[in-house]
């Protein structure tokens, strides 16, 4: 993958991805891993956290990452749009099964991990929760900060972790090491990336901005209590076999 300036990415042809610089943004980590898994040539540019990123905003309509673009098609940033684009560009190896039932499972798990009020959304809300009596940081409202959702965030995370645990154990009983079916899918890529919101991988595997590590390592006790060993066993299996380590951020 070739690193380029954001302006070069905007004017280039082919496949481009914009990632959050030096941060383990799970949406972007999984998208990049699937691009690598499919063997697609791609240029990588950066969104700078806490900056205005005017070129990215003018081009894509968002100051968030990931953003993915193909040739002169409109840039996209929704997780499911990205998955479907990658499947179109490289149908094999697949990350979305052909079987309708399994497709429903993959997109259902994907939404619960990546979508609004999903796992990543709720963990991010918890990270931005102010200390007692403190002010809500301005960044929180970019991510849909609402008191009722913040209050429910950890219980929603725990419920999903429990469901993923049950799914992995049922799959294991049938001889599968994957969340859906008998081969890796987008669901596995996304859980592996989002698991860093529970237990952050070591610096040797994910060389992120060290100043931000404490934010990711401050996992609430109730979330840690839901961390069945099979969840991180699955994460490690996917990371070691389907991601490039150390990650390129």
Superfamily holding 2-89: Glutaredoxin (3.40.30.10)
What residues does each domain of the chain span?
2-89, 100-242
Query: How far is it, in rounded angstroms, from Cα 249 to Cα 243?
Result: 13
Query: 100-242: same fold as 2-89?
Result: no
Torsion on CA atoms 132, 138, 141, 143, rounded to nearest 10: -100
Q: Which of 29-43, 137-151, 163-177 has the lowest mean pLDDT?
A: 137-151
Residues contacting 95, CB < 8 A, separation 6+: 34, 37, 38, 83, 86, 87, 184, 185, 186, 189
In CATH, 100-242 is 1.20.1050: yes
Question: What percentage of the chain carries pLDDT values higher than 90?
Answer: 87
Q: Inform me whether the pLDDT recorded for 12 exceeds 70.
A: yes
DSSP character string of 158-224: HHHHHHHHHHHHHHHHTT--SSSTTS--HHHHHHHHHGGGTSPPPTTTS---GGGHHHHH---HHHH
Q: What is the pLDDT of residue 135?
A: 65
Entry pTM = 0.95
pLDDT digits (tens, 9 = 90+) for 209-223: 999 999 899 999 999
pLDDT digits (tens, 9 = 90+) for 100-140: 999 999 999 999 999 999 999 999 888 877 666 666 655 65
Are the C-beta atoms of residues 42 and 71 closer than 8 Å to each other? no
């Amino acid at each position: 993958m070739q690193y380029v300036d954001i302006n070069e990415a905007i004017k280039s042809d082919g496949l481009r991805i914009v990632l959050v610089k030096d941060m383990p943004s799970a949406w972007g980590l999984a998208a990049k891993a699937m691009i690598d898994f499919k063997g697609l040539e791609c240029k990588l540019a950066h969104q700078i956290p806490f900056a205005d990123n005017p070129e990215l905003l003018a081009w894509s309509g968002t100051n968030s990452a990931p953003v993915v673009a193909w040739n002169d098609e409109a840039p996209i940033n929704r997780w499911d749009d990205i998955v479907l684009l990658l499947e179109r560009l490289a149908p094999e190896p697949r990350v979305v099964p052909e079987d309708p039932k399994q497709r429903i499972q993959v997109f259902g798990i994907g939404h619960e991990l990546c979508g609004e009020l999903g796992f990543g959304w709720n963990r991010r809300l918890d990270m931005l929760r102010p200390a007692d009596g403190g002010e809500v940081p301005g960044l929180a409202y970019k991510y849909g900060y609402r008191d009722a959702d913040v209050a429910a965030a950890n219980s929603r995370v725990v419920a999903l972790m429990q469901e993923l645990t049950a799914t992995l154990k049922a799959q294991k009983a049938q001889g599968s090491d994957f969340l859906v079916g008998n081969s890796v899918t987008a669901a596995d890529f996304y859980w592996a990336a989002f698991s860093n919101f529970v237990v952050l991988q070591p610096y040797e595997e994910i060389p992120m901005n060290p100043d931000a590590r404490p934010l990711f390592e401050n996992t609430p006790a109730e979330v840690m209590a839901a961390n069945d060993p099979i969840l991180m066993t699955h994460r490690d299996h996917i990371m070691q076999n389907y991601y490039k380590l150390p990650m390129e951020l």
